[in-house]
Each structure stands twice: as C-alpha cells, then as structure tokens.
Structure 1
C-alpha cells in the first residue's frame, strides 16, 4: 500500500478515508509516472481542533484549514512555473505526511455544492502534489499545479474543481 491512514476522528470511517486516500494518491503518482509501490505516504484524518493545533505549531496559523502536508524533503523548483525534481524510487521511500480536517472539508464541499467525497479526493491529490514539490504560492507554479490536479481528477472521473 502506498498510504498508511490513521483515523483520529471516527467520522472519516463512514467515508472510508483509507480507500479514498489510497486511490487518490495512487492516481497522482501514476499520472506523474511514478510507481506507487515504491513510496509511502501517511494520511491522518482528524478534526478541526487537531488541524488548528498542527497549523499553529507548523505554520504559526492557529486556525483550522482543510489539509496540511509535510514533505519528507524539499523538492520545489527555484524558478516559478518549473516542475520540481521528482523523487527517485526506492524501497518504501517516504514522501511525507498529510493531515485532513473533517469539518472544514465538509463545510467547503457544502458551500461549493460539491460531493464531499469529490472534494476530499481533490484535497488528497493536492496534498500529494505538495509532497512531490508542487506549490501554488507563485502564479506560474499555481497554474502548473492546478493543471495537474484537473488532469488527475479527470482520470478519476471527477469534474474540474476550479
């Protein structure tokens, strides 16, 4: 398995977060021409209180957010719009960790009129791309990252979230 999912909030069980995270992460790596069995990602399904704590500890923003990611190493490109250097395959190479908050994701999906599962799938794809070195702070980086998200989600049969 590519993903090791920890459930801290039982509401994630009804969504089957382990299965959803595995499918989204695999689709992302396959799209990037990486072999999923050569990598590991830890996914934590938590609530808003826990993610606010993590957001405060790691980003000095003590409020809830939808998803956080911690890459195992910095892979981002120096030039805006360039693709990052993808990791070299190896036995059980850890790409990093992801935390996703139930209430924020549920609220965002409802506000946007999107199915909850589709929104969570998008956020997992988004977070996996962060683990691979993609970002959306600079304009050209955001355009590149969003294009990949749309392509991966399309392959999963989901609509363009943008």
Structure 2
C-alpha cells in the first residue's frame, strides 16, 4: 500500500469577514456562536481541499477565545490541516481581527477541530497524510499525537 502525503499548503484556506451589527451582542462585540460557525465552515473547507471528499465535523476539540472583535472590524480566518489519521483530519483555525481605523491586528480565537472524510455513500474514507511546511505547522504536527490522546481520553 502506498502512503500518500500532500503539502499542508494544499489545505490552507483563508476567509475574510466583516463584523456587522446583527453578528454582535448588546456590547457591540461579536457573538461567540458566530465565530464558532465561521470556524466550523473554514475547517470543513480546509479538510475538503485536503481530502478531496466531503467531510463532517467529528469534534471541536478546543476553542480559545483570546479577545473580542467589534462592529466594523475585519476578521481574517486561516485554517490548515495539521495532521491526519486514517479517515480523520485535525484542522487548526486562527481568527484575527483588524481595526480599520488603527490597523491594529489581534488574534481573537484559536481552535482545533477533527473532520472526517466521507465517500458518496457516507462511509468514512481514507485521507492522505500531511507534510507541514511552516515552523508553526511543524510544531503543530509534532504535538498532534498528544492532542489526539487527550481528545480520545475525553470520550
């Protein structure tokens, strides 16, 4: 059996969103649930690009809200597949906000999700391995097994 591995660059996905009033709470900051929705969407896209299959979210393993974003801020979401199992992919997502008036950029949220590739019949299907490229991706790849053990230990 040949093991296929592909560059993490193939899965890298970047989206930009504008924080609008309907996305915010009474304090003018974005709802956490809106951010979670954005994170789930971009993680799925990243995993689909990597596996070339449809995917489902198996778990949102960790979400860390570091700061908030306000009405008028620009959000940049970046996702990349950091490691793979037989049919699953761990996806790292980083959300950054940018204040248009000051140009200040702040990391607002980081998250790890597990996505599972499925074939046309809805059966989990094998995915290629990943070759990390950047220093951050290499570090995430090195620590992936530890995160997987923690994730499986919670079940």
Would you say same fold, with TM above 0.5? no
**Structure with higher strand content:** 2
**Structure with higher helix content:** 1
Name the TM-score, length of structure 2 as normaliser: 0.32
